[in-house]
Structure 1
Amino acid sequence: MTKPSHMVCLGGGHGLYQTLLSARLSGAADISAIVTVADDGGSSGRLRRELEIIPPGDLRMALAALANSDPVGDLWARTLQHRFKGSGAMAGHAVGNLMIAGLTDVLGDYQAALDTIAELTNSQGRVFPVVNQALEIEAEVAGLDDDPRVMRQVRGQVAVASTPGQVRRVRIVPERPSANPDVLDAIERADLITIGPGSWFSSVLPHTLVPQVVEAISASDALRVVVLNLSAEPGETHGFSAERHLHVLAQHAPKLRIDRILVDEAALPTDSERVYIQRAAQSLGARATFADVSQVDDSGRSNNKHDPEKLSAALLELYSEYRSNSDTNRR
């Protein structure tokens, strides 16, 4: 099976973490994690406000996911993710967040701090913030008023992710920020690009609100895959169908062009549901593909996480098919 030489994964949080684990299993020689930077909660939010830095939490998780699987890399990965307990000033802070903040102070450069930690962990790739500044998320939310037609504005990633209303649209502040040049370079060199899974409005869509990122992905010759969430999430996408996730993506990024939408086969078991999502995929220039990518517990029930081994196998199959078709068309 053909392996990608450079895999680029866009997202944030736990969804990106699982995708990066699958990227490592794919055998890609180079992996680039492109990470959302709008987090304003917990340890990341505190460091963002106190030190005026890019929130480090999602970047830390990506570094942990890419740490080498030898004893040293495993120790560093667990250390990066470790959180202090108690009730004092350090309570809740992740060690990796503090390392990123401290190294940024020492080295005077945020990317140098990320790359230094990657060296410590013998990382299998590099981690980049999508833009070189902290972003804010603003959302238009329905259902927070007696009149369901009234839209209220909610600001902040935590507020958007936990709203009891229904998110209709999001924007980032500042609008139309310049992309991190390293991100554009990584996308240009990629031969496999993934977007998602993750919190749709607060981890996935912010990438598509950076115009240069959308332009770079749409112009790429790489296989471009949206990895769809296994289910709707409480809060921001409560009640969303798989089809609606794609409509929202197309609404926010009408110029985005994708090749495949990877959907867990158990999430859409009926032919009618699959017809609807194929139609939605066409709005992005894509075709939906169905595969078993869900992680299951000992009783065989899905735990609502993507299984890295299954996801890797599905992506490699798609990539092999894509390369085979590309080689045929060039003859």
Structure 2
Amino acid sequence: MVATSITRSAEIPDRLRIERCRSLPNLGPRLLFFSGGSALNGISRALKSYTFNSAHLITPFDSGGSSQVLRQAFDMPAVGDLRSRLMALADETTLGQPDIYRLFHHRLPADVPPAELAEEFASLLQGAHPYIRAIAQPMRGLILSNLRAFARNKPGDFDLAHASIGNLIIAGGYMLNDHALEPVLFLMSKMVEVRGTVRAVVDANLHVGADLSDGRRVIGQRQLTGKEEPPIDSPIARLFLSDGTRELPPGDVRLPKRNRKLIEQADLICYPPGSLYTSVIANLLPAGAGNAVALREVPKVYVPSLGHDPECPGMRLTDQVDALLSALRRDAGNDCPAERLITMVLTDAAALDAGAAVEIAERHGVPCIPVDLCAPDAADVYDPERLCDALVSLS
């Protein structure tokens, strides 16, 4: 049976459920997000008022900015998006939290003489920097231990210009924990009392690659996002994981059991706004991800970006749903019904293309649910509280 193309739900927002979650966020729903980049950080900050139990599987495949410098120096996964999500979910009421937040977001200057750059970095290592001194023990000692581990292991020609201190601290923890991300992410979550769970979808130093519709192949996230390189001018036909030079067979990279368990326990699964391919679909590439989603019988909500996505040239909402389903079915099987992978498309009422909604319903049986979700002063941005209201209502 074909679902109604546009479904208006009287239960969104469900004010009773919203107020219950706000009064007891420690008992809030387990919302799981396949995410990356910064698009969800504002929403994550708002989400802390509703639940302390959200889970965020983050792509560690960023190949641009300061994350790329660390990847090249230490053969490690990208950590910038993980750091920013940890900070977005940190408990802002904890004593000393603003000081930690300030340190983790601090970047070394990019336009000063090398001697001045080295001097500031040395003051951090010595614990003399005001941002370090402001942090109480024992947390200060833990941070310094990680930062000094980074300093001991960094190459002599490592470029500290514009380096994120938070990224350097995570990199040092990575060295101290036998080149594993999970222990340092766990420790940092405890440091800043993260209201949720933040994990890399896989703990591996890999890249995303894409076959474009015009036959070209590109490897590296920075080649696709349109931020550091010119935007692509041909739609992405297929995304894959790579070691940096070649495509890896699908079974070579598997979703860790601990992350599969997060999916198995989720009350709602969300494919959130952000770069469709490098922030969302990239998380679905490890073997086991699509099947885990298909087996979990909970709402599975696609929230498309409202603004322009440079990764989707010429793509309508219908094409984006097709791309998401195609990625999930690579693991779940081509015969997996669409409703086991996406149960609804949730978007702002004013932004919804009625023709696309009809096409999605006819092709996949997936309804589109229009709700007033955009920010009052920006038609291309979701209002964090309105979107959280909707997701909590559906969970």
- Give the structure-2-normalised TM-score: 0.71
Aligned residue for 2:336? none
Aligned-pair identity (%): 25
Task: Evaluate the alpha carbon distance shift between residue 308 and residue 77 of structure 1 in structure 2; reply closer, same or farther with a 3 A threshold.
Answer: farther
Q: Deviation at 1:42? A: 0.9
8 Å CA contact 1:260–1:288 kept in 2: the answer is yes
Task: Evaluate the alpha carbon distance shift between residue 253 and residue 278 of structure 1 in structure 2; reply closer, same or farther with a 3 A threshold.
Answer: farther
Aligned residue for 1:167? 235
Aligned residue for 2:161? 91
Task: Evaluate the alpha carbon distance shift between residue 68 and residue 223 of structure 1 in structure 2; reply closer, same or farther with a 3 A threshold.
Answer: same
Aligned residue for 1:258? 342
Task: Evaluate the alpha carbon distance shift between residue 239 and residue 31 of structure 1 in structure 2; reply closer, same or farther with a 3 A threshold.
Answer: same
8 Å CA contact 2:317–2:356 kept in 1: the answer is no
Cα deviation 1:90-124 (Å, max 9, x = unaligned): 12221221111111112333111011111111110
Q: Deviation at 1:282? A: 6.3
Aligned residue for 1:66? 89
Task: Evaluate the alpha carbon distance shift between residue 307 and residue 80 of structure 1 in structure 2; reply closer, same or farther with a 3 A threshold.
Answer: farther
Aligned partners of 1:100 and 1:16: how far apart in 2? 21
> For residue 57 of structure 1, what is the amino acid of its counterpart?
G
Q: Deviation at 1:186? A: 0.8
Secondary structure of 1:216's aligned partner: helix
Q: Deviation at 1:21? A: 2.6
Task: Evaluate the alpha carbon distance shift between residue 278 and residue 116 of structure 1 in structure 2; reply closer, same or farther with a 3 A threshold.
Answer: farther
Q: Which has the higher contact order (CA 8 A, sep 6+)?
A: 2
- Give the structure-1-normalised TM-score: 0.84
Cα deviation 1:113-164 (Å, max 9, x = unaligned): 011111111110121111121221111235xxxxxxx421111000011233
Alignment of 1:52 onto 2:75: yes
Aligned partners of 1:281 and 1:55: how far apart in 2? 37
Alignment of 1:267 onto 2:343: no
Alignment of 1:178 onto 2:286: no
8 Å CA contact 1:265–1:291 kept in 2: the answer is yes
8 Å CA contact 2:89–2:194 kept in 1: the answer is yes
Task: Evaluate the alpha carbon distance shift between residue 275 and residue 194 of structure 1 in structure 2; reply closer, same or farther with a 3 A threshold.
Answer: same
> Where does the alignment leave 5 or more consecutive residues of structure 1 unmatched?
143-149, 320-331
8 Å CA contact 1:131–1:179 kept in 2: the answer is yes
Return the structure number with greater strand share.
1
Aligned residue for 1:328? none
Q: Deviation at 1:275? A: 4.3
8 Å CA contact 1:194–1:224 kept in 2: the answer is yes
Q: Deviation at 1:49? A: 1.3
Q: Deviation at 1:222? A: 2.5
Aligned partners of 2:56 and 2:166: how far apart in 1? 16
Alignment of 1:141 onto 2:212: yes
Aligned partners of 1:241 and 1:172: how far apart in 2? 25
Alignment of 1:232 onto 2:308: yes
Aligned partners of 1:166 and 1:31: how far apart in 2? 35
> For residue 344 of structure 2, what is the amino acid of its counterpart?
R
Aligned residue for 1:115? 186
Aligned partners of 2:270 and 2:41: how far apart in 1? 12
Task: Evaluate the alpha carbon distance shift between residue 208 and residue 267 of structure 1 in structure 2; reply closer, same or farther with a 3 A threshold.
Answer: same
> For residue 104 of structure 1, what is the amino acid of its counterpart?
Y
Aligned partners of 1:274 and 1:311: how far apart in 2? 20
Task: Evaluate the alpha carbon distance shift between residue 240 and residue 46 of structure 1 in structure 2; reply closer, same or farther with a 3 A threshold.
Answer: same
> For residue 307 of structure 2, what is the amino acid of its counterpart?
S
Q: Looking at CA atoms only, which structure, 1 or 2, has the larger radius of gyration?
A: 2
Aligned residue for 1:286? 366
